[in-house]
A and B are shown apart, each in its own frame.
Chain A
Amino acid sequence: MGQTSETSAQRTGAHVKRAVQTLFREYSIFFIFLLVCVVITSIRPVFLSVDNIFNVIRQVSMIGIMSVGMTFVILSADIDLSVGSVAGLCGALTAGVIARQGLPPLVAIFLPLPVAALLGWVMGIIITKAKVHSFVVSLGMMSIARGLALVYTKGLSIGNLPKEFGALGGGMVGPIPIPVIIFAAFMILGYLVLTRTPYGRAIYAIGGNQEAARLSGIKVDRYRIMNFVICSTLAGFAGIILASRTRSAWPAAATGWELDVITAVIIGGTSFFGGRGGMVGTLIGALFLGVLRNGANLIGVSPFYQQILIGTLVVIAVVIDRLRQRRTA
């Protein structure tokens, strides 16, 4: 009797030990994140206030929504550089149909999404059927989408949008900003899709070994195209939230965001070579990005140094990923 309880205790211990090991291995970045939070709090306790926490999350929510789609793309060993431009284009389109056509905001915020989806689909088709690397195709699309935004706005910004439109990006439900709710919803949805659907499991297999996935009967091309459609659509949606938050749109909106988005995914431990990582990591990655910027501002670190910090973090994350692969290979 005593023996059995002892072994079961041992077994629990082993379980806990293994869980902690996995946590360390898979989410080593999580502990660095916690450490950074503790350090910031000890210097500026206001960091931990509810207002500030929501402030941080709201600031990263648009990057965060885009990084949900980017996680899909990077997990299957592709890359999408066009997300910033697609976000800018969709913001401009929404603002345009409200200001020029006078459409009600509730309709206008959904109109550009099919455009974003179409751009993603086109990229996916070219990448899979013509077998061109996604880096090149999305690099081209980055320029095309930005160009479309410039053409549509004639290079001018669109401002003075109605107040109701501002609700999407600036509104609150109780103490929680609406963008935070949307961000959380997409994160959870993305997490469930990745872990619980055939599509999600196929993405991991495609990123881990595309040929093995194909030989197992996975429709590799179809899923990769789907990734780009999802990634583009979410980018477009984030762009609309951005336009709503500022109640204006300008053609250069969200320029360079693709780098922040990729940074969030990579910091979150998703392997740049596909097959490893996931939504939890991306959530931490996106939050980390926000916390660093917010914390640095609170402490009074110059934005110039923030750049250096974030860059260092990206490199550390990738080095950790390499080490992890070497250890298990």
Chain B
Amino acid sequence: MGQASIGTPAVSTFSPDHVTPVDHQLLVEMTGISKRFPGVLALSDVTFDLRAREVHALLGANGAGKSTLIKILAGVYTKDAGVIRLRGHETEIRSPRHAQELGIATIYQEYNLVPDLSVAENICLGHLPKGSSPLTKFIVSRQQMNRHAERILRDLQVDISPTIPLRRLGVAKQQMVEIAKALSLESGIYIMDEPTAALSSKEIEELFRVTRSMRDRGCGVVYISHRLEEVGMLADRVTVMRDGRCVDTLAAENAPTSRLVQLMVGHSVERAARHPGCAPGAKLLSVDRLSRKGIFEDVSLDICEGEVVGLAGLMGSGRTEVARAIFAADRADSGEISVRGKPIRVKSPNHAVREGLCYLPEDRKKLGLVLSSSVRDNIILASLARFCRFRIAGKGIWLDQHRIRKEVVERVKSLDIKTPSIGQFVESLSGGNQQKVVVARWLCSSARIFLFDEPTRGVDVNAKSEIYSLVRTLAAEGAGILLISSEVEELVDACDRIYILRQGRIVAELLRDEISKEAILAAALTGTTGEDGGRHRTQKEDL
């Protein structure tokens, strides 16, 4: 019953003629929403609303709770407490499918499209028009489908033929199809999760135009983005979240970028004393104007002996990609890398390892560990050649089991990896211990330059501090470390110097005394460090 009464206006909002007379009708009201995950309070008493005919931007740093809130609205998570009203009716959103039926359409960053189907098929997928007679009931009516798709695409004023296969479209056009798909559900409530992340500036304009036209026909759009400048260009209202709370909601015209940054960062927190820095030694690694088309551009950085260098940036700023390119896990298009002042062309990870580099990947289960192998095999994986006893033509052919055992046991002990034996399969270890296994692998190798990508993700507090003290020890022993982390506080505590990436470019380099949470976030969000100091790198300095 409740469903029917909600379903009807959902259809009517699609055509502007039927919009209710109240111009600012509330489509969504979320009050007192809380959500707890094991160990974290992800959302605490959040209030959020969305009106018809508006674009409501949702801002916040990584981990502020934006996506949790959105996922609750989209039916992916269920809330622990609070009330959701849709068009005035209190509603429990049970599943993503249910949310769709209730008229909530989500346009995710990753497109949920099938590349081999036509544009029209993608748009109508899940509700393909079928014939009405008993004979044609099971047959898709192509004509009707194409007409339906064409009408929606025409409404959007985008020039895409409904019959061509999706895979022939570029990213931006695919996104339009994704939007058309959401529109074909005639939903009324749209959630757009960082839709501009993969688009060029011209394509972004096109997207804005489409979004505005969605608004003008009476829909409400929740718009999530990391790019603050987009707020002023598109949004009617802005809500800023921080640490799982709703900080403020304000009209877009009253929200200059500086104010938004301030809201997102919050008050500065006094940190415990940082580690005493050590004087950096000779240059270990220098990267000169490394570029990969469409991903990052002209990235230059140095790491010296005994130095912990941070690489900060929002999600999607290209942090991981830069590290992977340095390690030759992905190919860079241009740029030079030198190790100890000697320019090298790293061709493969194998080559990089031989040059003394190592890379600890962000996703340890997918990229770091061989889950079906033992702790021992995982630890020796990068240094098999070193454990060999006999050599033929310089290549080791026989593993010295005794030495392996001795050294692995030593590593397990010194890193305090909790495992019943070194023959244990790593898949049965906890996240923190698994991460330490990957770290141990690189300690065993002869690496001097450590590229650590989110070493503390999904790791408990104890393991976290152990990993950071290990990073310090490595630096004290003369290694160079590049540390990528989403946790700004951790970067502030651990780093001697921090580079900040924004949209694939290094926008700032903060020296020891300039490092602060505010400066990092300001640079990552806007591209300038503001009054906090910090060298704003200009093109000239780069050259």
Contact = CB atoms under 8 A, between A and B. Distances in A.
Contacts, number: 89
A213 B381 contact: yes
A324 B322 CA distance: 38
B427 A329 contact: yes
Interface in B343-368: 348-350, 352-354, 359, 361, 366-368
Interface residues of B, number: 36
| Max chain B C-beta neighbours (<10 A), residue from A207, A208, A325 | A208
Contacts of A198: 384-385, 387-388, 396-397, 399
A201 B377 contact: yes
Contacts of A325: 372
Say what secondary structure dominates the interface of chain A.
helix
B369 A209 contact: yes
Interface in B368-417: 368-373, 377, 380-382, 384-385, 387-388, 396-399, 401
A219 B427 contact: no
Interface residues of A, number: 26
B352 A217 contact: yes
Contacts of B327: 215
Contacts of B377: 201, 204-205
A8 B218 CA distance: 78
B397 A215 contact: no
A196 B372 contact: no
Given A196-B399, A214-B349, A217-B382, A205 B370 contact: yes
A218 interface: yes
A197 interface: yes
B372 A217 contact: no
A296 B372 CA distance: 36
Nearest to B369: A212
Contacts of A295: none
B500 to A, nearest CB: 25
A215 B396 contact: no
Interface in A10-38: none
A215 B349 contact: yes
Contacts of B370: 204-205, 208-209, 212-213, 275
B160 interface: no
B401 A196 contact: yes
A212 B425 CA distance: 15
A215 B367 contact: yes
A204 B373 contact: yes
A213 B373 CA distance: 12
A202 interface: yes
Nearest to B353: A217
A251 B398 CA distance: 40
A211 interface: yes
B366 A211 contact: yes
Contacts of B350: 217-219
B397 A328 contact: no
B441 interface: yes
Given A202-B384, A217-B354, A328-B425, A212 B368 contact: yes
B485 to A, nearest CB: 19
A175 B353 CA distance: 52
Contact of B373 (A197, A199, A205): A205
B329 interface: yes
| Max chain B C-beta neighbours (<10 A), residue from A198, A217, A276 | A217
Nearest to A277: B372
Interface string B76-92: 00000000000000000
A275 to B, nearest CB: 4
A130 to B, nearest CB: 17
A328 B350 CA distance: 30
A216 interface: yes
B373 A275 contact: yes
20 contacts: A197-B397, A197-B398, A197-B399, A198-B397, A201-B381, A201-B384, A202-B381, A204-B372, A204-B377, A205-B373, A208-B373, A209-B370, A212-B367, A212-B368, A212-B381, A214-B349, A216-B382, A216-B441, A325-B372, A328-B427
Given A215-B368, A217-B349, 6 more contacts: A202-B384, A205-B370, A208-B372, A213-B370, A217-B354, A328-B425
The 4 closest A-B pairs by CB, nearest first: A217-B353, A198-B384, A208-B370, A275-B372
